Structure 1
Amino acid sequence: MNEAEPSGQADMSAACPNTWLAVAFSEEVKPASVVTTKLAGQDIVLYRTNGGELRAVNPHCPHLGAHLGRGGSVEGELIICPFHRMAFASDGTCIRTGWGAPAPKIRLTTHPVQERNGLVLVWHHAEGAPPTWEVPPVETTGFSRPSTWTGVFTAHPLDLSENTVDYQHFVALHGAQSVVETSPIKPVKHHLMAGFTMKGFYFSWAQVNVHLNLYDPGYAAVWLEMPALGLKALEIAAWSPIGPRRMQARKITYANIALPGALVSRLLATASPLLAWVIGTASVRQLKKDEEIWADRQYLPNPKVTQGDGPVPTFRRWAAQFY
């Protein structure tokens, strides 16, 4: 007999969720730089003022439509259109023209933006509503210098986040030997938590304790522990639509290993950045297995879930709030 299916939810089969979306690494937007990236499949322009303030704006100048990411520049705290040298303040207001005439009453469309753990997050809402929450910073004290990765793959906007709580697929697709829930899935407003132990996912011989935090449907912090090695790792992952069924993922991996002995600890501290790269690479290898399924998968709004599907129905009900 089937368990209760998700009901009364919005149609999540195609649309981008209303949430914070990762559009760049912070290091990509240097002071006085202008960067074009994608927000929910559309161009968006990021710039950082000389004072370090990060801004996100629609790409086209409201004067005559030039693309600010194609030759636009930053002067002090202003972004300058390359076409007629119109200058816009951080709030989007035009404050001068390029030829000395009074500034027209036009303004750029700005977007709420925040930086978290080396990622640039921009707010997206289909109806233009303002954000009602922020993604919290994740504590990284005690970890090594991180390893970063980004890649583009074919998927639905919810595929990656749903995967994190689809315990059965870790065994069926990824060859994990076992997955045991240690902390039941717990949705709290925009936050979802879960804990489980699995063996054979990252490495065939390793048992890994996993503590999952989804801070919205496109941003996750995953704490990993391999007790036999004294290894702890943290993966911060974010993903964002850049086109129809095209997703860009960005991942930051930290690692730390501790064993008895001061000299051993110092040597291992030196090796921790390499360990972060190894763990990050291992998870990317598994992600590519998922993409083989996602590429042709249909995201069903009312899946026929069965006994043993675990937290997937709870995840679907939680995710509906973002649509």
Structure 2
Amino acid sequence: MATHMTSKKIQNRMKRRVALNKGMSGIFLLATSFGVFILGVLFYQILTEGIPYINLEFLTGKLSTNPDRAGIMGAILGTLWLMAVVIPVTIILGVGTAIYNELYAKQGKLQSIIQTNISNLSGVPSIVYGILGMTIFANMLNLGSVVLAGGLTMSLLVLPIVIVSSQEALRAVPGYLSEASIGLGATKWQTIKNIILPAALPGILTGSILALSRAIGETAPLVVLGIPALLLPFPGGLFDRFTVLPMQIYYWTLDASLVGEYQFLASATIIVLLIMLFILNGTAIVIRNKFQRRY
């Protein structure tokens, strides 16, 4: 009799768990569908408003106070110059810090505090990095609102993300690979360079490219830094003043309250920015699939 009651309780418990699982799955599916629906509506609106304005003159022209003659070549070049600073600074410092923290630093209380702070920096609002960049690069180093100051500021923003993702990629490398390398007489650096880094490369590059995608789309740090969206000449070096696509979108969105046509220019610029983001994210997927190894 007791065995029968126990079996009945187990069956009831399993039914409740199955029902709860189905209910939660439905809630999650509903939440996901709602988010995808809203995103689809926004995407459709941007495409219908922006595509008619995308042409060669718009892509290669200079900024203008006349919406009919406005172009975004300066913003595109400014974005590329900005990334020319962000990419090497972020990858070199981020991957180097990850290698030191994961493979060289002695584990202890101090190392735990440093690791916790690095992880917490990933959640700091982006405008705080803008204030930091304005204080250090624009004012203390007297760089002003130039490409180098903007690139270093955006590097600070995404550096914690690259460090954390690189550390996770290094941890995912099986320990027996490095043990076998050291057992064959290789030094620690030779093991890192020839065994660990190649194995962790897909994860490192994927995390880095996704972090750089965030840097392309950020606006708040550049607003604080004083990056303009005025009639600037095309940037041609690290010490030239510049603007970027997100800044241009921001200012054209504000101007749309006065001149309605700026709303369509902002939508067209968003499409160009999305294409750049899709290219970066697609590159991350290709790199991950090409260098992925199974151990």
Fold match, TM over 0.5? no
**Structure with the largest fraction of strand:** 1
* TM-score normalised to structure 2 length: 0.23
Question: Whose radius of gyration is greater, 1 or 2?
Answer: 2
**Structure with the largest fraction of helix:** 2
* TM-score normalised to structure 1 length: 0.21
Q: Which structure would you say has the larger RCO, counting Cα contacts within 8 Å and 6 or more residues apart?
A: 2
